């Protein structure tokens, strides 16, 4: 069942979990931001954990239209799509003055003893992201060496995004992120050069 109130709660919780984290966001924070009252919130969500689950489901269901469609609307080249996606996170870091990191990555490290449902939803969010990047690498076809493990490389790219955000936020310096992306660029260039050599 869906309703405007329910949706409003999810979106407020999403924003607050993103910026403050799950533990540091109180139910009172969400109530005051939404102008919803406690009774309504608990009508939709039996507990705070259930709200977290709903937020993670919302991310999971929206990756295509909220993230990928936006990042890729002007980019067709599969390799450049990867960098366009990464650049989306860069813009988010800069425009939020480092308040917004990766919402999933934050939760992944914060939730130490997650109930299985939460952990699996975080994992699913990661693997959907990895699948999308893997598809780019598959679409790059013979530009990469034939024996390149494209899934492993896609996981590697998620790792770089997460680690790059972590370092950039900690130092409050986007150059950390940029240098990480540059090294990734070097790596892909080296792979593509290898592939060219194999053909020649």
For DNA, which is the closer residue by CB, 47 or 141? 47
For its own copies, which is the closer residue by CB, 54 or 122? 122
Judged by CB under 8 A, the chain residues 139 through 158 that form the site for its own copies are 149, 152-153, 155-156, 158
What does each C-alpha distance from 30 to 12, 74, 143 come to in angstroms?
6, 36, 48
Instruction: Compute the distance between CA of residue 68 and CA of residue 31 in angstroms, rounded to an integer.
Output: 31
The dihedral through the CA atoms of 71, 74, 77, 79 has a sign that is negative
Contacted by 158, from its own copies, DNA, none: CB < 5 to 8 Å by type = its own copies
38 lies in the site for DNA, by CB under 7 A: yes
60 lies in the site for its own copies, by CB under 8 A: no
Contacting residues for 143 by C-beta, under 8 A, at least 6 apart: 79, 192, 195
Which among 120, 155, 118, 108 has a CA at the least distance from the CA of 134?
155
Which among 123, 120, 112, 121 has a CA at the least distance from the CA of 22?
112
33 lies in the site for its own copies, by CB under 8 A: no
109 lies in the site for its own copies, by CB under 8 A: yes
One of 7, 43, 120, 152 touching DNA (CB under 7 A): 43
- Shortest gap between Cβ of 17 and DNA (angstroms)? 11
Instruction: Compute the distance between CA of residue 105 and CA of residue 40 in angstroms, rounded to an integer.
Output: 29
DSSP label at 37? -
Residues that bind DNA (CB under 7 A): 1, 3-5, 25-29, 36-40, 42-44, 46-49
Which stretches of the chain bind its own copies, using CB under 8 A?
A: 19-21, 23-24, 99, 101, 105-106, 108-110, 112-113, 119, 122-123, 126-127, 149, 152-153, 155-156, 158-164, 166-167, 169-172, 176, 179-180, 182-184, 187, 190-191, 194
């Amino acid at each position: 069942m869906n309703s405007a109130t329910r949706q409003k709660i999810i979106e407020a919780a999403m924003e607050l979990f993103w910026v403050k984290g799950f533990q540091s966001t109180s139910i009172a924070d969400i109530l005051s931001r939404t102008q919803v009252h406690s009774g309504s919130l608990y009508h939709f969500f039996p507990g705070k954990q259930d709200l977290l689950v709903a937020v993670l489901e919302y991310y999971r269901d929206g990756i295509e239209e909220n993230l990928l469609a936006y990042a890729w609307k002007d980019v067709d080249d599969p390799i450049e799509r990867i960098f366009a996606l990464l650049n989306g996170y860069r813009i988010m870091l800069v425009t939020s003055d480092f308040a917004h990191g990766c919402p999933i990555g934050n939760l992944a490290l914060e939730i130490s003893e997650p109930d299985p449902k939460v952990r699996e939803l975080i994992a699913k969010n990661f693997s959907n992201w990895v699948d999308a990047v893997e598809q780019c690498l598959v679409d790059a076809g013979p530009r990469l060496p034939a024996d390149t493990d494209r899934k492993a490389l896609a996981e590697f790219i998620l790792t770089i995004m997460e680690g790059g955000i972590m370092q950039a936020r900690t130092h409050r310096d986007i150059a950390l992120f940029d240098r990480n992306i540059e090294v990734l660029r070097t790596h892909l260039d080296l792979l593509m050069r290898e592939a060219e050599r194999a053909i020649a």
